[in-house]
Structure 1
Amino acid sequence: MINKNSPVPIYYQLEEIIKELIEKGELLPGDALPAEREYAERFQISRMTVRQAFTKLVNDGFLYRVQGKGTFVAERKLEQPLQGLTSFTEDMKKRGMIPGSQLVHFQLIPATKKIAQQLSIPEHGPVYEIKRIRLADDVPMALETNYISANLMKGLTEEIVNQSLYAYMEGKLGLQIDYATQTIESAISSQNEADYLRIKSGGPVLLIERNTFLHDGTPVEYVKSIYRADRYKFMIEMKR
């Protein structure tokens, strides 16, 4: 119920009511919410207040709007801890989801100056470029491009890259992955990226670049990933 005598803003109380319905499973992803007018009449509040609550829930990723159709419950975002180095496949399995990949291309290319610097190899040296759409329960989550030195990672095939690269590196080649450095920034999706991820062109995405190293400090891969900002968020635990 809305308590109009509470110091807590009415729009915030309505947000909490809707979030509780989502968390209890009474509102499921894809469900349409009643119109703003219905909420206003039900709680005897203004439509402007309802719109304010809806807008905040849209911005926070709980709801989304479709022009001319209404407001709907969004898929919940996957929370990715920033501690620990795991593969996408490992992350999805931990969540009880089925990981998958759709290979866009797999080719041998000469390293550009930037890629050569990232991998500590000579410019124009042979590099595998692997572009994949990463899936969770058949839903696109990220567009990932890996660059790996062909002299370091011998015997790579399409069949292998359709599985887990980390499993192949460690299990088959005996390479000991030790640590990685990673940057995360906000970006706007291109038309090409949007098509792969099934989102609107110009929609918000997370641009992630990662360098992964072996125990002796040798760079083993450089990865550029475009994650759906509507389905992914990152979490870090900080201690004083």
Structure 2
Amino acid sequence: MINLNRDTVVPLYHQLSEILKELIQSGQIPAGTKLPSERELMDRYHLSRNTVRQAIDLLVHDGFVYQDHGKGNYSIGPFLNIQYRIDTFVEHSEFLRRVGSTPTYKNFGTDEIVAPEEVRKALRLGENELVVCFTKLFFANNEPAILTLDYLPRKLLGDNYDRTGSGDAYIRLLEEINGRMVKFTLSDIVAMNATQEIAEYLNLTPGSSILLFQETFLDPSKNVPLGFASNYYHPNIHFRILRHRLNP
């Protein structure tokens, strides 16, 4: 039995979730198998009921376990294992790593422009206000994967701002400017046909079907937008969603 490390800063519920996740991924808890009960896990690992429930909730959130209320918790097999949840976000390089690719990226320039209408509305800017647009292309195993256009209000940036957009770390740049962690994004997901320009970046035929994520990064404590991004995903990139039926 794998033991918990009680001398680390990693929360016990997270350690337990990782132990159970490893058992599921390795096949030691096969798909569709009922997990040990809360009481069994409490006794085996000397944990409180609340800690065990937090661990199970994390496994449910990450797509490794489903709950059949009144019956118990069951493992989800690899065929349903969600590699990237569409309701979470990470930086693009980390996303590509999580789906099993080796990520790289290339900067294609930084432009100061009058905010396009959709950007102006998302960031609540006035007419003719300037934004800085960082254009990058992310590669998965040296193949074009994601074209990103990241926008920031010009008034938030100093005169000597990093014109690379801090490399891959647009989210961290937002956090540096605003002095707080970015935890939420409001995302519109749209199927579209690649324009000539986008097709050239992604090495596609113009008119190819792609996914566009238009994302507004939010500070919920102040109810204000922090930044806006348009992310164009190559059609080879797939998202999987585990959907739960609501009770009728």
TM bucket, shorter chain: 0.5 to 0.7
Q: Is the 8 A contact 2:101 2:141 kept in 1?
A: yes
Q: Which amino acid aligns with 2:243?
A: M
Partner residue, 1:209: 214
Q: Is the 8 A contact 1:144 1:226 kept in 2?
A: yes
Distance 1:217 1:137, change over 3 A: farther
* Residue 96 of structure 1: how far off its partner (Å): 5.0
Deviating above 6 A after TM superposition, structure 1's stretches of 4 or more consecutive aligned residues are none
* Residue 79 of structure 1: how far off its partner (Å): 5.6
Q: Does 1:89 align with 2:79?
A: no
In the aligned structure 2, how far is the partner of 1:159 from the partner of 1:129? 10
Partner residue, 1:222: 228
Q: Which amino acid aligns with 2:229?
A: V
* Residue 127 of structure 1: how far off its partner (Å): 0.7
Distance 1:101 1:123, change over 3 A: farther
Q: Is the 8 A contact 1:206 1:226 kept in 2?
A: yes
Number of aligned pairs?
162
Deviates more, 1:162-171 or 1:194-203: 162-171
* Residue 179 of structure 1: how far off its partner (Å): 1.0
Partner residue, 1:100: 104
Distance 1:234 1:116, change over 3 A: same
* Residue 99 of structure 1: how far off its partner (Å): 2.5
Partner residue, 1:167: 172
Mapping 1:91-170, distance limit 5 Å:
91-95=95-99, 97-154=101-158, 156-170=161-175
Q: Is the 8 A contact 2:178 2:226 kept in 1?
A: no
Q: Does 1:236 align with 2:241?
A: yes
Q: Does 1:187 align with 2:174?
A: no
When you count strand as a share of all residues, which structure comes out higher?
A: 1
Q: Secondary structure at the match of 1:199?
A: coil
Q: 1:98-156 deviations in whole A, cap 9, x for unaligned? A: 33222222111122343221101212222111121122232211221111112234453
In the aligned structure 1, how far is the partner of 2:123 from the partner of 2:177? 21
Structure 2 stretches lacking a partner, 5+ long: 1-81
Query: Which one has more relative contact order, counting CA pairs under 8 Å at least 6 apart?
Result: 1
Root-mean-square deviation (CA), in Å?
2.4
In the aligned structure 2, how far is the partner of 1:226 from the partner of 1:82? 15
**TM score, norm. by length of structure 1:** 0.59
**TM score, norm. by length of structure 2:** 0.58
Distance 1:97 1:79, change over 3 A: same
Q: Is the 8 A contact 1:152 1:220 kept in 2?
A: no
Distance 1:126 1:222, change over 3 A: same
Distance 1:171 1:129, change over 3 A: closer
Distance 1:217 1:207, change over 3 A: same
Q: Secondary structure at the match of 2:217?
A: strand
Partner residue, 1:3: none
Q: Which amino acid aligns with 1:188?
A: N
Q: Secondary structure at the match of 1:140?
A: strand
* Residue 178 of structure 1: how far off its partner (Å): 2.6
